[in-house]
Structure 1
């Protein structure tokens, strides 16, 4: 087995309880990433859901994908995602070369994004690929109750800002060795730029979910 897709979906969420099973459109949130993974199985060998939640496990199994039971000690709020992905690699009896990470809280992705990122991963001969988008905000710091511009000077036009990018969470590709060394975004990683309305969706609150439902309805796309 060379390439696997991992979808980490724990049950606990303080800001939006049970968010991974809440409805986005006509489907549970977790189902969007599962269906995206299944539509791209020509690029991978297997799909694994890692979860500590019985309801998420039941949904995942109903879609015919593999489930890894995540131990409680790596399911807390402060536990990094890489711990769950690493646990998947350590739990399956297969040799894995490449891991594709799909976060269920970033559920909407352009159809060709995974294939485009796989191509970049192979062409760049890098350890990882992760998606980023350009920020068009005027950013600054607050120090001692004073605002200090970070990426602009007062009065500067937005279109003249120095390009800065944010990690949008849509997709990650990492070699298995890096994951086992507790890394997903590696030093030798390639930032794959994508400027798309889907890149602004990251569901942590009810407002985020409402916005995602609006974008999904507005787009009127057959995503899978």
Structure 2
């Protein structure tokens, strides 16, 4: 089974400027995902895609095997992510001269995942034979109980309703927040689809403390705090 890992890191972040190369606990943010991918021992190569030469330089110094310059039209604020991931995989395949079986994308802004999360998500796809696997955590809010929308009349109402009203959150169907940490595809599925949601998509559940995606400074501080707690816990053993 041949597997390839991509990490797509666009330049020009607005919520946390230069976050992909900013030092988090002494290492560039993107280096954490590269290291996690390497620790799994799953991949023929780790490819980093970016429109930023600086990010690519940092990724190379951090151990990435293949550096791919992303076309500018795939690096705008409005560009969808899946075509950029597909471009990265196709370019990496050309350089390696191989055809992969399993495509795995790691979000550089989700550094709290464990290497074992990557292994388990890949195993879920390969053992079940489904098209793709996404990751998520138990949702804090339920669309059946306390997540609301404003309708066309300007009135607040539940996002989803059931025939029998839910009076306790615990009784509502289980819902998940996508955490964007890990995406796994069969090669053919990634090449042929732009959507993440297919008839047989599975979800690999991760705990909230490994699911934080850094989009704002407060999330950066929270991730740094949790990483320090992990470090202190390991040192005390």
The two structures have a TM-score, normalised by structure 1, of: 0.89
Aligned counterpart, 1:190: 202
Query: 1:20 is paired with a residue of what secondary structure?
Result: coil
* Kept after mapping to 2: 8 A contact 1:15/1:204: yes
CA distance in 2, matches of 1:151, 1:193: 22
The correspondence for 1:204, drawn from 173, 194, 215, is: 215
The aligned residue for residue 163 of structure 1 is 174
Residue equivalent to 1:173: 184
- Cross-structure match for 1:3: 3
Instruction: Find the aligned partners of 2:84 and 2:115 in 1 and give their Cα distance.
Output: 26
Deviation, 1:215, is: 1.7
**2:6–2:89 contact (8 Å) kept in structure 1:** no
What do residues 41-82 of structure 1 show as CA deviations (whole Å, max 9, x unaligned)? x21111000011122111111123211111112111111111
Q: Could you report, residue by residue, the CA deviation over 1:143-180 in whole angstroms, capped at 9, with x for unpaired residues?
A: 24322123589993333332111211111110122222
3-state SS of the aligned residue for 1:162?
A: coil
Superposed CA offset, 1:90-128 (max 9, x none): 323231221100001111102311111122112211011
Asked if 1:219 is matched to 2:227, the reply is no
RMSD: 2.2
CA distance in 1, matches of 2:189, 2:181: 19
Name the counterpart of 1:26: 26
**Is 1:149 aligned to residue 158 of structure 2?**
yes
Alpha-carbon distance in structure 2 between the residues aligned to 1:117 and 1:158: 28
**Does the 8 Å CA contact 2:83/2:194 hold for their aligned counterparts?**
no
Q: Unmatched 5+ residue regions in structure 1?
A: none
Structure 2 residue corresponding to 1:99, chosen from 94, 103, 110: 103
**Residue equivalent to 1:53:** 52
- Kindly indicate whether residue 90 of structure 2 is the aligned counterpart of residue 90 of structure 1: yes
Q: Which residue of 2 aligns with 1:123?
A: 127
Which of 102-111 and 143-152 deviates more? Answer: 143-152
Whole-Å Cα distance in 2 between the matches of residues 54 and 178 of structure 1? 30
Distance 1:122 1:182 in 2: 19
In the comparison of the two structures, how many residue pairs are matched? 220
Q: Shift of the alpha carbon at 1:86?
A: 1.4
TM-score norm. by structure 2 comes to 0.84
Structure 2, gaps ≥5 residues long: none
* SS of residue matched to 1:115: helix
